[in-house]
Chain A
């Protein structure tokens, strides 16, 4: 194979002792991207499952695609376009966000891998796509760049890289941008892309309307009231990828079928959100149907793609039920009880990221106690 020969010819230059050996990790990343390496097992099991991190991460990226494509269409739809025109308009608006996030994030990842002499981790393939999908479409690119850099460096690399981080990097990027640049991340204008350089359209998101008036509000273009069906399909203002519950559920189906995301977490988040939605209804705090919580704002997106992050969520099966339930419940509590900040999902997941190790600690502690009891009955 010609390509293989070419790679083999280049390899010595990048290997130890070669002229460009300081770019070894970068070369390795591209080489293993092109070719599954010829490494064979030396210790332990002689055969291995053909699943690896690359495949795992690429399946997650594929699961994100329906929500991303719909998000692009919705960007155009929200400013009054329809059909392919809407999609193309949205595509051109969203693409720069994706490019910036990937370029900044991967550059830092490669740099760190290089300085540590590690192979480059695939984790950012997912984070890099998640970041633009949870940003408002009108966010300035430099904020995306800064937030991505912050998330990768302080959310991940300072802990040792993929697999060692405490907080979900993509959510950390959003939290950073939200708190550091609140005016550019909220308000009535950021949810609508500028047309021909001018902010033509503005309006509250369905989530904000829900928190202030108990209804989903009206479409900014046309003035029709937003129906629950619109919210489910995703024809509402919001962050790029989060609006369509339907597209997110397609992604969820992919993740659950392939077994990559935990159904325990996903299910418990929805159950927790719904349970507390009903509770607030019973207490008379809210009057709208509780299921609206699940289809507006970032609830569904967070439940499917963020809360299920295996690294930052609970690691034990029992822990997953508990952490998932609390994530959903907390998101609804924040939405209902804190009028200044209607979107609770982001903070709820980040907070539960911090609590997950504690939950796991108690789950594992019980297993250890069972075993230690056995010693005492012996002696």
Chain B
């Protein structure tokens, strides 16, 4: 039944600062935040004001485009700030956490007798629904629709990413319950893809279709897995969920409480002691870093990334970890000049091209900074992006179709099957330094507008 899929394309970037397999328990932080900016195409409408009391699982705001989709507080406490940016755009809602947590009690639905609609309702009102991602386009799942299948990736192949077989060890019960719930949402299958050789921790899960993948990043991207298992055609919808959120979903249906605790990796070359931390979603970055960042030389700064180095969001030291992030990465900023850099051997920098010398020591771990390493140019090289996108898609043609805003071409070339994250490696290797993920994002937004 289980199928092994081997991918030859891709790239593992070996960075310094992989998290050690130890978990540090973090004390409850002073405040937690929920941000609509962690989701695409959400128009938030507030349901609380500063000073309101909320329990864990109470709604803070909802999406105007889809009023049933609620965004709930991960902790109980008092709403202490509603931060807005330009044009009063909602940035986040901050909740000061109580010392002793109170949980909103949701119906601990009996899966056997509950209808699909009841299950959906519980998921919506608890806020866990927001963690269901709909493809095409990577939006929050539409509760009025039924997907042809649901996909969960049991491994993350991005640089320094958390290892889920460690993170989720001992969570079989929650996971099983979570997958049972997912199975009720679709008439099709629930596909669970693990890394070949590391599938042990999910091997016992019942009621799902097991797959194993072999290969380099982006083999762990759920989009790549969908492409190889059951690709999305025009007019079809599939959903996906992060596997840690499946555990949260399982806990919700076991206990009736929204317990948003998860284990995140704190990694990167500028972390003193890279390790895992047990936190509640929306925790402040400071509570995670907390004296664990290496001292920098005068004038040098670090970049804190909520997520991995390829697709994560930049956050400030006083910010909060984003809802979709399972890791926090800290790397040096690269805002300095390099004399004749392009002509130098540059042994300390990484390149997939043998125009540099990374090929001499393939196992070396690199301390890479955020320098763009060149100026933006038009597309020149060919045949390069293809090597880092393990899909039956012509990346450059798709990108050019997007730039030309040619909807028909975008459809035929595979826009329904991709998200910006799938193109992250193409962007990394590109010697023309083109903002490829942004182009894909723009293409998807255009498709949403036109449909």
Interface of A with B (CB < 8 Å)?
1, 3-4, 32, 34-41, 43-56, 58-59, 119, 121-123, 160-164, 257-260, 262, 264, 310-311, 313-317, 320, 364, 367-368, 370-372, 374-375, 378-379
Q: Contact: B414 with A371, CB < 8 Å? A: yes
User: Can you list 17 A-B pairs with a CB-CB distance of less than 8 A?
Assistant: A32-B375, A35-B341, A36-B342, A38-B335, A38-B371, A40-B335, A40-B370, A41-B370, A45-B424, A46-B312, A49-B428, A49-B430, A163-B379, A374-B233, A375-B233, A378-B233, A378-B236
Complex CA distance for A36 and B383, rounded to whole angstroms: 26
Q: A35-B338, A51-B352 are in contact. Are A40 and B412 (CB under 8 A)?
A: no
Q: Contact: B356 with A51, CB < 8 Å? A: yes
Q: A34-B339, A50-B349, A59-B355 are in contact. Are A44 and B429 (CB under 8 A)?
A: no
Q: Within residues 293 to 344 of chain B, which ones have a CB less than 8 A from any CB in chain A? A: 303, 305, 309-312, 314, 329, 331, 333-343
- Chain A: CB-nearest residue to B353: A51
B382 CB within 8 Å of chain A: yes
B: contact size bracket: 35 or more
Output the least CB separation between A262 and chain B (Å).
6
Q: Contact: A44 with B427, CB < 8 Å? A: yes
- Chain A: CB-nearest residue to B339: A35
Complex CA distance for A209 and B239, rounded to whole angstroms: 69
- Segment at the interface with A among B20-28, B195-203, B249-257, B389-397: B389-397
Q: Contact: B428 with A52, CB < 8 Å? A: no
Q: Contact: A47 with B310, CB < 8 Å? A: yes
> Pick the contact of A310 from B311, B372, B382 — CB < 8 Å?
B382
Complex CA distance for A53 and B384, rounded to whole angstroms: 14
Majority SS at the chain B contact face: loop
- Segment at the interface with A among B71-79, B107-115, B274-282, B434-442: B434-442
Complex CA distance for A268 and B339, rounded to whole angstroms: 40
The 9 closest A-B pairs by CB, nearest first: A52-B374, A163-B378, A36-B341, A44-B437, A368-B412, A50-B349, A54-B342, A35-B337, A36-B338
Output the least CB separation between B3 and chain A (Å).
19
Q: A34-B340, A40-B335 are in contact. Are A51 and B373 (CB under 8 A)?
A: yes
Q: A38-B371, A320-B383 are in contact. Are A46 and B310 (CB under 8 A)?
A: yes
Residues of chain A within 8 A of B337, CB atoms compared: 4, 35-38
Output the least CB separation between B46 and chain A (Å).
28
Q: Contact: A44 with B424, CB < 8 Å? A: yes
Q: Contact: A37 with B339, CB < 8 Å? A: no
Q: Contact: B435 with A38, CB < 8 Å? A: no
B37 CB within 8 Å of chain A: no
- Chain B: CB-nearest residue to A313: B382
Q: A35-B340, A43-B438, A53-B374 are in contact. Are A262 and B383 (CB under 8 A)?
A: yes
Q: Contact: B309 with A44, CB < 8 Å? A: no
Output the least CB separation between A40 and chain B (Å).
4
Residues of chain A within 8 A of B370, CB atoms compared: 40-41, 46-47
Q: Contact: B371 with A311, CB < 8 Å? A: no
Complex CA distance for A375 and B310, rounded to whole angstroms: 32
B432 CB within 8 Å of chain A: yes
- Chain A: CB-nearest residue to B368: A47
Complex CA distance for A50 and B236, rounded to whole angstroms: 39
Majority SS at the chain A contact face: loop
Q: Contact: B431 with A49, CB < 8 Å? A: yes
Residues of chain A within 8 A of B341, CB atoms compared: 35-36, 50
Output the least CB separation between A371 and chain B (Å).
6
Q: Contact: B342 with A49, CB < 8 Å? A: no
B381 CB within 8 Å of chain A: yes
Q: Contact: A58 with B427, CB < 8 Å? A: no
B6 CB within 8 Å of chain A: no
Residues of chain A within 8 A of B381, CB atoms compared: 56, 260, 310
Q: Contact: A368 with B380, CB < 8 Å? A: no
Residues of chain B within 8 A of A56, CB atoms compared: 353, 355, 380-381, 431
Q: A56-B431, A58-B343, A364-B397 are in contact. Are A162 and B371 (CB under 8 A)?
A: no
Residues of chain B within 8 A of A378, CB atoms compared: 233, 235-236
- Chain A: CB-nearest residue to B341: A36
Output the least CB separation between B63 and chain A (Å).
24
Output the least CB separation between A362 and chain B (Å).
13
B377 CB within 8 Å of chain A: yes
Residues of chain B within 8 A of A50, CB atoms compared: 341, 346, 349-351, 356, 373
> Pick the contact of B235 from A47, A55, A123, A375 — CB < 8 Å?
A375
Residues of chain B within 8 A of A375, CB atoms compared: 233-235
Q: A45-B311, A47-B13, A262-B382 are in contact. Are A52 and B431 (CB under 8 A)?
A: yes
- Chain B: CB-nearest residue to A3: B339
- Chain B: CB-nearest residue to A4: B337
Residues of chain B within 8 A of A257, CB atoms compared: 354
Q: A38-B336, A55-B342 are in contact. Are A44 and B351 (CB under 8 A)?
A: no
